[in-house]
A and B are shown apart, each in its own frame.
Chain A
Amino acid sequence: QQQVKQSPQSLIVQKGGISIINCAYENTAFDYFPWYQQFPGKGPALLIAIRPDVSEKKEGRFTISFNKSAKQFSLHIMDSQPGDSATYFCAASTGNEKLTFGTGTRLTIIP
């Protein structure tokens, strides 16, 4: 059972454009929603995280939008750059318990 559903599986965006990756969850007990970035041959690295008491969190070019009623959250990458090309994973957890990951989105930024 996939508790965190992520889409799209792959995404191609032109340099300077906005990349948007979406995730949906079922477990209303989830209260921590991080995004991880992974480059080939490396482990995932924490990019940005949000808790459900806010609807948006921004760090530089990266923004998480959170819709508690729809049980959805998304990652927006503004002014996308070739260096942003990587695989992105959303995740969710209850308190500080087990982290459940989405299936990942391979993002490619083209010149």
Chain B
Amino acid sequence: NAGVTQTPKFQVLKTGQSMTLQCAQDMNHEYMSWYRQDPGMGLRLIHYSVGAGITDQGEVPNGYNVSRSTTEDFPLRLLSAAPSQTSVYFCASSPQGFGYTFGSGTRLTVV
């Protein structure tokens, strides 16, 4: 099993550009989440999903969209990148909302 796979690992965007961060898991987990990690602020929840077709907002959802058309995939879309979105993004999955498995992260820089 590959676990939680995130692509790309690194990305540089210009302000105003859009992009999609990919996340896929092969563990048949129902719960999936997106977090951003910034120095001194821990991990903050952006969006999460409890199953295909069901998504909800987390603590810092503004500027991000998600969809969950399959159990395996949970992409995160940046609509119009801003320097404040420079961060490390982590996707995580869990079978029941407990014991999340995290991906290795995407380091995003917006210039």
Contacts and interface: CB of A to CB of B under 8 A. Distances in A.
Contacts of B103: 43
Given A98-B45, A103-B42, A49 B99 contact: yes
A25 to B, nearest CB: 13
A111 to B, nearest CB: 27
A6 to B, nearest CB: 8
Contacts of B104: 41-43
Interface string A31-57: 010101000011111100100000000
Nearest to B95: A96
A18 B29 CA distance: 36
Which of A6, A9, A101 has the most CB atoms of chain B within a 10 A radius of its CB?
A: A101
Given A43-B103, A98-B48, A49 B98 contact: yes
B97 A43 contact: no
A44 B99 contact: no
Given A42-B104, A96-B31, A101 B96 contact: no
A6 B43 CA distance: 12
A103 B98 contact: no
Interface in A62-79: none
Nearest to B99: A46
Contact of B97 (A6, A9, A96): A96
B74 interface: no
A44 B90 contact: yes
A95 B99 contact: no
A14 to B, nearest CB: 26
A17 to B, nearest CB: 25
A98 B98 contact: no
A4 B10 CA distance: 30
Contacts of B64: none
A99 interface: yes
Contacts of A9: 40
